Structure 1
Amino acid sequence: MIVSKKRFVSEEKKDMISAYLYVSPFFIIFSLVGLYPAVYSLYLAFQKWDGLAPMTFVGLDNFRVVLEDPLFWKSLYNTLIIGVMGTAPQLIVGIILAFLLNLAYLKLKQFFRVTIFMPYITSMVAVALIFSVIFSNHEASLANYTLSVFGFDPVNWKTSEWGTKIAISLMVFWRWVGYNTIIYLAGLQSISNEYYEAATIDGASKMQQLLHITLPLLRPFILLTVFFSTVGALQLFAEPTVFLGNNAFTRDEAMTVVMYLYRDAFRLQSFGTASATAIILLIFIVIASAINLLLTSRIGKKRGVRSE
């Protein structure tokens, strides 16, 4: 009996070691490309370093320099404005498109789903080229021609304050609306028709079914998209950088926080202030995500449908 017990414990330990070995690649890769850079960035935030000379401990000076820089607050303002203009509409339009794609009588569903999702998998360079042509400063560009049809003056999309923000926001919207639509569509298709049949029998209207059945059951998917959209909006970098090209880091109309961070690190060789900016951005992301999740978690939290 004693021998068999020892063998049992030995086999149990072998299984445990085997399990840890199977999952170890993930933790090793995460430690190298995720955890270590994050910890090192936190360390750099309290150092003065240009990438070559020895590091010098400066305490909270890097944070003071960043928070006292008007360009940082301008970049934060740009990030919030472009984020709201590009993110909020895509979530609303995504839900509407998901409802349309989920209609039983809609034909060519697969075609429309693939078409809507195509911008998400399109190369960022191709997207930037398309929008650079559409929002060219030339009077004959598609955007300016459309404005002229309605009697408006042409806009210098790449140099004006709001023209740049609108163009980049539309780029963000066009690229990500299909991604959110597919997530909402998956959520709608996971809702059983039995709920709607029971509500119809009880005399509930379509609006009541939407408010008391669809939105409450779709809430987890809404929370997911709001969280990812918030994080993505505050980390906006690729769209304005590619759209503005060489002028991206020399003008402040569309300078985002991540672009400000990148400029400090790789153009000014100030890795300390860049790391401090990353820590401040992380704090803003946590706060903004918490607020958005708190607001969106209330969606659909109403009393159920009452039978008449």
Structure 2
Amino acid sequence: MTDLPSDAQTAVSSAPSADTARDERRRARRSRLYRWDVRFSPYALIAPFFLFFVAFGLFPLLYTGWASLHRVELGAPTDMEWVGLRNFSRLLDDDFFWNALRNTFTIGLLSTVPQLLMALGLAHLLNYRLRGSMFFRVAILTPYATSVAAATLVFVLMFSRTDHGLINWGLGLFGIDAVDWQNGDWTAQLAVSAIVIWRWTGYNALIYLAAMQAVPHDLYESAALDGASRWQQFLHVTVPSLRPTILFTCVVSTIGATQLFGEPLLFSQGASPTGGSDHQFQTLGLYLYEQGWFNQHLGRASAIAWTMFLLLVLIGLVNWAVSRWIRKSA
């Protein structure tokens, strides 16, 4: 073999080193991109949520807080006159506000307690091996998927004051006179609560059912070996295991009751925000709607909205305290 020229030997020997350096730079670049991807990709994925939250959650909250400190009308939302806490102090002297707060509490109590008790019982029944259990699980969720407008209109016909209403017709079979459901204080609140119970019982039942299926079956077997009946197993095994879930549904249902709006609005004649002729079932949501969009007092409406927000914060603090007590007791 003849020896290569010195220049050719230098080119051949330098080629592998150049390729090695290029590969190392490529690997370093890929490694740097991978580190950036691992570090910043989660923020990019959750960024749309925070952008929408800032636009449709945080900004309206801050704006209503600022508007609650001013006298501002719907016709001129940019003309604000500083009044401080005057809108909040006026609420304390407003009988309609206290009436709406009282109605919100009573309707929430009348709808939440029966709703959760019925949901717990339905979940307990569906937890057993029933024939066609999947059909029943889907069926109890149907009211939740139904439009609130359609459901409320059906209940309006059922609770009609005339004898043609289904409820009054049933009462007439037992010799009971027809009830004017919409114009009575307690009767109207019972009717609105019935709509809420019908819509949300199945939803809470499925939440309880999912929690029940996570309870170890060994606990039921041990209780059965000790001679516990199914009712005793439910009281001493199922309910204690569901305490965090029950607390969660209580808090969520309470928040929903505080914001109740669609059912009482559509239940009143002409979809009036007054909640009946004598404000007998006007909730805080309806009172806010009346002040802001009918009386056009955006400052007062903002004060009501922030009052409702503070009530929800108080509910959250109670939830935190009760959850902490449950964890300590467990």
User: What's the counterpart of residue 302 of structure 2?
Assistant: 275
Larger mean CA deviation between 107-116 and 224-233 belongs to: 107-116
Aligned partner (choices 44, 47, 55) of residue 32 of structure 1: 55
Aligned partner (choices 104, 121, 125) of residue 96 of structure 1: 121
Partners of 1:230 and 1:289 within 8 A in 2 = no
TM-score by length of 1: 0.88
User: What's the counterpart of residue 306 of structure 1?
Assistant: none
CA shift, 1:81, in A, is: 0.7
Aligned pairs for 1:65-214 within 5 A: 65-104=90-129, 106-214=130-238
| 1:264 and 2:264 correspond | no
Q: Which amino acid aligns with 2:240?
A: P
Partners of 1:231 and 1:289 within 8 A in 2 = no
Partner Cα separation in structure 1 for residue 37 and residue 319 of structure 2: 46
Per-residue CA shift, 1:235-255, capped at 9, x if unaligned? 100001011142532430111
* 3-state SS of paired residue (2:176): coil
Aligned partner (choices 244, 251, 255) of residue 227 of structure 1: 251
| 1:254 and 2:275 correspond | no
Partner Cα separation in structure 2 for residue 135 and residue 296 of structure 1: 39
Partner Cα separation in structure 1 for residue 327 and residue 171 of structure 2: 39
Per-residue CA shift, 1:192-243, capped at 9, x if unaligned? 2122223333454545533332122212221221111000001100001011
Per-residue CA shift, 1:5-54, capped at 9, x if unaligned? 89866653453233322221111111101111111111111011113151
Partners of 1:160 and 1:253 within 8 A in 2 = yes
Partner Cα separation in structure 2 for residue 163 and residue 235 of structure 1: 21
Cα root mean square deviation, aligned: 2.7
CA 1:154–1:296 in structure 2 vs 1: closer, same or farther (change >3 Å)? farther
CA shift, 1:294, in A, is: 5.4
Partners of 1:223 and 1:297 within 8 A in 2 = no
CA 1:5–1:107 in structure 2 vs 1: closer, same or farther (change >3 Å)? closer
Q: How many residues are aligned here? A: 302
* 3-state SS of paired residue (1:138): coil
CA 1:118–1:63 in structure 2 vs 1: closer, same or farther (change >3 Å)? same
Partner Cα separation in structure 2 for residue 301 and residue 18 of structure 1: 38
CA shift, 1:129, in A, is: 1.8
Partner Cα separation in structure 1 for residue 298 and residue 289 of structure 2: 9
Partner Cα separation in structure 2 for residue 91 and residue 227 of structure 1: 11
Structure 1 unaligned residues grouped into runs of 5+: 304-308
TM-score by length of 2: 0.83
Partner Cα separation in structure 2 for residue 50 and residue 244 of structure 1: 26
Task: Determine which structure has more spread, i.e. the larger CA radius of gyration.
Answer: 2
Q: Which amino acid aligns with 2:286?
A: M
Q: Which amino acid aligns with 1:29?
A: F
Aligned pairs for 1:45-60 within 5 A: 45-51=68-74, 52=76, 54-60=79-85
Partners of 2:123 and 2:206 within 8 A in 1 = yes
Partner Cα separation in structure 1 for residue 285 and residue 34 of structure 2: 51
CA 1:14–1:299 in structure 2 vs 1: closer, same or farther (change >3 Å)? closer
